[in-house]
């Protein structure tokens, strides 16, 4: 009622203001027109003119019968005995001589002011102020009504709702994660025909947690489940529950589940659930914050005093270690489905899915691309084909060729190709570094095979690189010999600098290689038990404060053991470094030839690199270089 009366009063004020404004405008225009009507034109050729001094002379001569003074325009309208028309004379602001002359000669005079521009400006200013006042009041009223509406909807859920789950994705569009698809196929069956399971006493699972690295297809899988089941689909991100105001997140959780119950059976997808489901009572500030209240409400809704029949929660995260244990127990998330990086066959299936709408050349081999991309996620593979299509369009080709695919892989992994370097000492130095890496790699039996080496610079300051094809059979299960060979290969660039240019000419180009060496050597000593210190894990990498661990990290070994760790790390690095130098010293002529060839071509593929090593013969009388 108060709001309606306020609106009615505002409409009355607006109407009265408009009426007053129109009346003032009309009166001002009438005054202006009347004033303008009384002011004759000054520039008429047939009208006689008088100066101020001539006017005084006429007054003294008694030829003036009447004078009308206009102080606003500084004019005197003079009526002469000999003239029928009135003559206008320009006068000053103050005219004491004129007044004395008029009085002395008993001439009738008076004063009349015409409408001035200042009066009109005053009227227009008042009118403008009235209009601004009315506009301001209307804006305040409108904003208050909007704020009221927002306050009423602030605790509402922001979940996107699709009644018929038209996600446009089904299981045929998801490849590379066949094991996860098989597990989630049962969820589709639960949603379509629940009586098939309830007749045997089975309960529909409350929730399914998808765990996997970024880009492995967790969100795509949730859309495919909704598309296959054809049930109402709610989707929301975990960050959309939490606000700075207390109680808003819990209110949104309640509203989301209320809507889901009204549309059961349905599917609720919560992406990035770790934003709201982190472990409670952790961190520096302790426990009772808005995020924890939201999590408490979510726990209650998923498995509290009420049952949520027909509502299946699917959540996705890449950080299961930070989730609260109460959220992971059976009854809330009954199933945890691991969505791993795709294998060779999985990558091939993903490439086939994303190649449907791409125009590929007949020489493009998807199997070869799959073999060259171990460790790529589904999003990475989709990005590779998309970058290949962009490069094809930029080069004005009709179809994607193997060259565009190789360039796209390099662009995704190491960056955009820049203009080649000019012939200089820097270019030759980079060539020796990359050949050092590649030559050492080809001489070590436990190292992964070389893919290619190049000195074409890349975005991000990378002067060149040497890539390799990881062995998928041992991925994730690396031996001590393999790690030592990786360290030796990483030190091949620095070893080449020292062998060719001397210790005083080494550069900072090996800084990233040294960081990698230190990291691998430390893990060998402190985590993998691959040193003389024994089978001990001396460090715990997952000791974050926000996970409920100690505020200050606790040292897990004594100072004496720390000294031994440093010594072991240094011994590993120096042993591998000397091995790399020995390999390059024994094959110095071969290294020089490879550097000359690399400077000429700027890129050497792995097969060609190995063929050159196998065919090259050192000076007569020496043995043939070892081939792979």
Q: What is the pLDDT of residue 576?
A: 96
User: Order of strands across the sheet with 87-90?
Assistant: 87-90, 75-80, 64-70, 108-111
pLDDT > 60? residue 11: no
What does the block give as tokens for 347? 């990558």
pLDDT > 90? residue 105: no
Residues designated as active site: 434
Q: Based on the number of CB atoms within 10 Å of its own CB, is 261 exposed (0-12), middle (13-18) or buried (19 or more)?
A: middle
pTM: 0.66
Per-residue pLDDT band for 382 (boundaries 50, 70, 90) equals very high
Looking at residues 407-426, what average pLDDT do you find?
A: 83
Q: What is the pLDDT of residue 547?
A: 47
Most confident by average pLDDT, 73-87, 292-306, 391-405, 544-558 = 391-405
Buried b (16+ CB within 10 A) or exposed e, 334-359: bbebebbbbbeebbbbbbebbbeeee
Q: What is the pLDDT of residue 69?
A: 79
150-164, 193-207, 246-260, range with the lowest pLDDT:
150-164
Looking at residues 74-91, what average pLDDT do you find?
A: 77
Q: What is the pLDDT of residue 582?
A: 95
Looking at residues 158-181, what average pLDDT do you find?
A: 70
Q: CA-to-CA distance for 359 and 357, rounded, in angstroms?
A: 7
What lies within 8 Å, CB to CB, of 492 at 6+ separation is 436, 437, 438, 439, 440, 441, 580, 583, 584
According to DSSP, the β-strands at 64-70 and 75-80 are antiparallel
Q: CA-to-CA distance for 344 and 450, rounded, in angstroms?
A: 19
Q: What is the pLDDT of residue 564?
A: 94
DSSP state letters, 501-531: H-GGG--GGGHHHHHHHHHHHHHHHHTS--S
What does the block give as tokens for 406? 């190789």
Buried b (16+ CB within 10 A) or exposed e, 585-624: eebeebbeebbebbbeebebebeebbebbeeeeeeeeeee
pLDDT over 90, % of the chain: 27
pLDDT > 80? residue 174: yes
Element holding 465 (H helix, E strand)? strand 465-468
Looking at residues 500-512, what average pLDDT do you find?
A: 91
* Closest residue by Cα to residue 590 from 568, 622, 562: 622
Q: What is the pLDDT of residue 231?
A: 79
Q: Do 469 and 452 touch, CB atoms closer than 8 A? A: no
Per-residue pLDDT band for 288 (boundaries 50, 70, 90) equals low
More confident site: 165 or 228 = 228
Q: CA-to-CA distance for 42 and 112, rounded, in angstroms?
A: 17
Q: What is the pLDDT of residue 245?
A: 55
Q: What is the pLDDT of residue 585?
A: 94
What number of residues does the chain have? 628
Per-residue pLDDT band for 588 (boundaries 50, 70, 90) equals very high
């Amino acid at each position: 009622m108060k709001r309606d009366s306020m609106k009615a009063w505002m409409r009355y004020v607006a109407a009265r203001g408009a009426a007053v404004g129109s009346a003032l405008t009309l009166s001002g225009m009438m005054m202006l027109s009347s004033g303008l009507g009384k002011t004759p034109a000054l520039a008429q050729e047939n009208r006689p003119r008088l100066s101020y001094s001539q006017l005084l002379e006429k007054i003294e001569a008694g030829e003036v019968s009447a004078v009308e003074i206009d102080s606003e325009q500084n004019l005197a309208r003079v009526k002469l005995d000999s003239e029928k028309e009135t003559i206008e004379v320009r006068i000053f602001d103050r005219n004491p001589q004129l007044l004395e002359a008029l009085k002395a000669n008993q001439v009738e005079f008076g004063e009349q002011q015409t409408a001035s521009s200042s009066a009109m400006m005053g009227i227009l200013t008042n009118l403008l102020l009235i209009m601004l006042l009315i506009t301001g009041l209307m804006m305040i009223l409108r904003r208050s009504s909007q704020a009221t509406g927002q306050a009423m909807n602030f605790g509402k859920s922001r979940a996107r709702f699709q009644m018929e789950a038209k996600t446009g994705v089904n299981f045929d569009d998801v490849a590379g994660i066949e094991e996860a698809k098989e597990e989630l196929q049962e969820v589709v069956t639960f949603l379509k025909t629940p009586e098939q399971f309830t007749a045997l006493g089975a309960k529909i699972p409350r929730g399914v947690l998808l765990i996997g690295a970024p880009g492995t297809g967790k969100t795509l899988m949730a859309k495919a489940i909704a598309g296959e089941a054809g049930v109402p689909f709610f989707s929301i991100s975990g960050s959309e529950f939490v606000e700075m105001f207390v109680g808003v997140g819990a209110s949104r959780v309640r509203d989301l589940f209320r809507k889901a119950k009204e549309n059961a059976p349905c599917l609720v997808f919560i992406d990035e659930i770790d934003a709201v489901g982190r472990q409670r009572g952790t961190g520096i500030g302790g426990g009772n914050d808005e995020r924890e209240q939201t999590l408490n409400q979510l726990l209650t809704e998923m498995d509290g005093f009420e049952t949520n029949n027909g509502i299946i929660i699917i959540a996705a995260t890449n950080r299961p270690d930070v989730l609260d244990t109460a959220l992971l127990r059976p009854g809330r998330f009954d199933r945890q489905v691991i969505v791993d990086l795709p294998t060779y066959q999985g990558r091939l299936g993903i490439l086939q899915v994303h190649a449907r709408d791409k125009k590929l050349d007949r020489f493009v081999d998807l199997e070869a691309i799959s073999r060259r991309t171990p460790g790529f996620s589904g999003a990475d593979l989709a990005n590779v084909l998309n970058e290949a299509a962009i490069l094809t369009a930029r080069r004005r080709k009709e179809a994607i060729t193997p060259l565009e695919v190789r360039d796209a892989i390099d662009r995704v992994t190491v960056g955009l190709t820049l203009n080649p370097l000019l012939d200089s000492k820097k270019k030759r130095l980079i060539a020796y570094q990359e050949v050092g890496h590649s030559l050492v790699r080809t001489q070590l039996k436990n190292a992964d095979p070389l893919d290619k080496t190049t000195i074409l610079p890349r975005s991000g300051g990378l002067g060149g690189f040497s890539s390799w094809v990881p062995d998928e059979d041992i991925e994730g299960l690396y031996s001590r010999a393999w790690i030592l060979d990786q360290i030796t290969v990483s030190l091949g660039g620095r070893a080449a600098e020292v062998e060719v240019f001397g210790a005083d000419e080494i550069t900072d180009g090996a800084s990233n290689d040294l960081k990698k060496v230190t990291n691998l050597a430390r893990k060998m000593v402190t985590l993998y038990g691959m040193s003389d210190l024994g089978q001990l894990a001396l460090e715990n990498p997952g000791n974050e404060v926000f996970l409920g661990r100690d505020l200050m990290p606790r040292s897990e070994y004594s100072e004496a053991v720390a000294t031994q760790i440093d010594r072991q790390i240094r011994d590993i690095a120096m042993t591998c470094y000397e091995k790399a130098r020995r390999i390059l010293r024994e094959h110095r002529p071969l290294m020089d030839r490879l550097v000359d060839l690399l400077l000429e071509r700027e890129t050497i593929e792995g097969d060609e690199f190995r063929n050159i090593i196998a065919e090259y013969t050192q000076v007569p009388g020496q043995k043939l270089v070892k081939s792979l």
